[in-house]
Amino acid sequence: MWDNVFPSFLIGLREGLEAGLVVSVLVATLVRSDQRARLPHVWTGVLAAIGVSMAFGAVLTFTSANLPGKAQEAFGGFLSLIAVVFVTAMVFWMRRSARSFSGQLKEKVAAALQMGAGVLVVTSFLAVGREGLETALFLWTTAQAAGESAGPLIGAAIGLVLAAGLCWGLYRRVLKLNLTRFFTITGSILIVIAAGVLAYGFRDLQESGLLPGGDSFAFDLPIDAGTWYATLVQGTLNLQPRMTWLQVIAYVGYAVITMTVFLRQTGTTAPAASASEDKPRRVPAWSVPLAVVAVPAVIAAMVIAVSGKKTENVAAAVQVSAQNCGKGFTTPKPGRQVFQVRNTGDRTAEVYLIDPASNAVYGEVEGIAPGTTRSLVATIGTGSYAWRCVPNGGGSVTSAAVRVSGGSAGTAVIPLAEKELEQPLAAYKAYVDKGLAALEEDTSRLHADLADGDVKKAKKDWLTAHLRYASLGAAYGTFADFDGKINGRTAGLPGGVEDKDFTGFHRLEYGLWHDESASSLAKIAKQLADDVTALREDFPKQDFDAGDLALRTHEILENTLHQDLTGSTDYGSGSTLATAKANLDGTQVLLDLLRPLIDARNPKVTPAVDTWMKRTAELLRDPKPLDSLSPAERQKLNGTVSQLLEELAPIPDLLEIRKAG
């Protein structure tokens, strides 16, 4: 988060100082003109400008969130370009106007005083509103580049607070600041940041398909993007370890040209050299922008020289069809390759780049329609390679194999056939059936407790039954409407906890822990028991997709993180940590059944998963209420579950049912 603070801090400081200076001059002019009664007009315009700026930011966020994927990329790309234009115009205008804009503004205020209150409101609104709109746009683009909003917002807030302090000091005459020098220095830094925003915007437009060259990379540094130094560079300068030629040209071209013009217009260009040898030569102004661009390039070159550069080549187009799979495929060069796969047949097909000896998959394109071209990225190393085409409704066709020598091959996944999941699926169905039988007894006991008026015992038996249901989490997709009846929540129900459709475990939980009568809850418990019985009878006939088993290894705990560990599923019992432990146990059952299939494809996955499963189980050992945890304990628990999800993430891909075999 903190790596994304600096660019927004700088824009908040600059724009806040500009707007603050405007307000300071307005207020000072009115005070010295004995027009204090007009001050509310200034503040009215300022507040209106702030409101419009915040609304503009909200509109940008809402509009982007409701666009489809490609449109989001295009929207973000265009706004990034507009933000660069605004920032560039702002740094040039403020550098030119720093010395004289106070006097110009005083003239406008004097004219406004003669024309009435409305004009004074408009003057303050326009003066502050321009800065506010620029700030909102730039913050939105930096937040998009950062992938989150906390860092940019914190940076902007710090910058605005500091700007307010500086303006107060200048107004009270307790602080002196060389505005020309300040805006020159910050302008130079902003030009570098804007170059990164420009490159990011061009990448968005490439990913949206509006600009070409999305697969033509100038460099792809073998650097982990998650390291602190890579994150810092990305957050401050928007330089990425992997950039296209268009991004690099845009970044370098903008930075060099804009910086040269900017510094030349500041009057820092060196005078002609004297013939006297006693006079030292001044550094030419063009050396500064050259250094700004050259230093990162030199550092990148050093990194490449030390660690080796990944190469990515755009390979020749490969044509695929049911009659001729892999036409145009020749022996590729080692390294990262981008294959342009074009379906020349008349049926939609799945296309795989495989090792024909083991059927291991190096890359795949699913659902490529006739007449369309899709990119397939694969790392080529020593080994055999062939194309396998599987058209809809037809048999697979495999191209002739080629042999490559040199380089380290990328990870290949052994394809999984649906029949390989038959045994784990049968075992899991038996586990669920046994669990439903026990759950039927649990809910019958719960109903009996409430029928007898024993609320204390009902609370204990409620928890037992609910945790048993939670441990069957992998089957929730097959339970269909029964899951909503048995374990539904109030989300989407207009009546909330009073809604007639709020039934099952959580309805009982709310009633038991909010002192509802046992007699009224007995009816709800009876309905719960009946629904469980109906589910148990229906389950053997339900269609359980074998492919869901691998997905559930990740999804169960993902739901746990976003629901149980946030407290949104707690209706009074304080049992969400116990539910999380039951979900963890249910995930463990799945992992035990799928372990042989996972280990056959990547033996490194399960040891890492086991480590983080144990750590999570240790943190959930004491099922106390979630709100009794300290902030540090909650952060540790959320971080541990998040890391466990990272380790579980490869499993659905490893165990995806593929037709390549």
According to the model, what pLDDT value does residue 113 have?
A: 54
Q: What are the domain boundaries of the chain?
A: 2-200, 313-412, 420-654
Q: Is the pLDDT of residue 399 over 70?
A: yes
Residues 600-611: pLDDT tens digits?
Answer: 988 999 999 999
From the options 3.40.50.10860, 3.20.20.210, 3.40.50.2300, 1.20.1420.20, give the CATH code of 420-654: 1.20.1420.20
Task: List the beta strands (DSSP E) in 587-650.
Answer: none
- In the chain, what percentage of residues exceed pLDDT 70? 68
Residue 566 DSSP label = G
User: Was domain 313-412 assigned CATH 3.40.50.1220?
Assistant: no
Cβ(113)–Cβ(38) below 8 Å: yes
Q: How many CA atoms lie within 13 A of 350 on its CB side?
A: 16
Cβ(56)–Cβ(136) below 8 Å: yes
Helices marked H in 602-630: 605-619
- Owner of token pair 């990034």: 80
**Gap between the Cα atoms of 441 and 457, Å rounded:** 15
Q: Is 124 exposed, middle or buried (0-12, 13-18, 19+ CB in 10 A)?
A: buried
Q: Is the pLDDT of residue 579 over 70?
A: yes
pLDDT band of residue 307 (cuts 50, 70, 90) is: very low
Q: What is the pTM of this model?
A: 0.52
According to the model, what pLDDT value does residue 193 have?
A: 74
According to the model, what pLDDT value does residue 434 have?
A: 95
Q: Is the pLDDT of residue 32 over 90?
A: no
Q: Is the pLDDT of residue 300 over 50?
A: no
Q: Which is more confidently placed, 430 or 23?
A: 430
pLDDT band of residue 645 (cuts 50, 70, 90) is: very high
Residues 74-120: pLDDT tens digits?
Answer: 766 777 787 778 778 767 766 666 555 555 555 655 555 555 556 66
Q: Which is more confidently placed, 74 or 393?
A: 393
β-bridge pairing 397-398 and 242-244: unpaired
β-bridge pairing 318-320 and 335-343: parallel
Q: Is the pLDDT of residue 55 over 50?
A: yes
The amino acid sitting at 369 is A
CA 212, 216, 219, 222: dihedral to nearest 10 degrees?
A: 110
- Say yes or no: do domains 313-412 and 420-654 share a fold: no
Residues 201-236: pLDDT tens digits?
Answer: 888 788 777 888 876 778 766 554 445 555 556 655
Q: Is the pLDDT of residue 445 over 90?
A: yes
What is the average pLDDT score of the chain? 78
Q: Is the pLDDT of residue 386 over 80?
A: yes
The closest of 587, 619, 581 to 606, measured between CA atoms, is 587
Cβ(574)–Cβ(582) below 8 Å: no
Give the long-range contacts of residues 272-280, CB within 8 A, separation 24 or more: none
In this prediction, residues 371-384 reach a mean pLDDT of 86
Q: Is the pLDDT of residue 491 over 70?
A: yes
pLDDT band of residue 268 (cuts 50, 70, 90) is: very low
Q: Is 260 exposed, middle or buried (0-12, 13-18, 19+ CB in 10 A)?
A: middle
Q: Which is more confidently placed, 583 or 37?
A: 583
pLDDT band of residue 372 (cuts 50, 70, 90) is: confident
Number of Cβ atoms within 10 Å of the Cβ of 318: 22
- In the chain, what percentage of residues exceed pLDDT 90? 29
- Owner of token pair 């409305």: 118
Tokens of 422: 């038959």
**Gap between the Cα atoms of 496 and 493, Å rounded:** 5
In this prediction, residues 301-323 reach a mean pLDDT of 60
Q: Is the pLDDT of residue 176 over 50?
A: yes
According to the model, what pLDDT value does residue 272 have?
A: 41
Cβ(390)–Cβ(350) below 8 Å: yes
Distances (CA, A) of 366 to 313, 363, 385, 592: 22, 10, 18, 30
Tokens of 307: 């660690």
pLDDT band of residue 70 (cuts 50, 70, 90) is: low
Of the listed ranges 3-17, 381-395, 401-415, the least confidently predicted one is 3-17
Task: List the beta strands (DSSP E) in 212-369.
Answer: 217-220, 242-244, 312-314, 318-320, 335-343, 349-355, 360-368
According to the model, what pLDDT value does residue 286 have?
A: 47
According to the model, what pLDDT value does residue 284 have?
A: 54
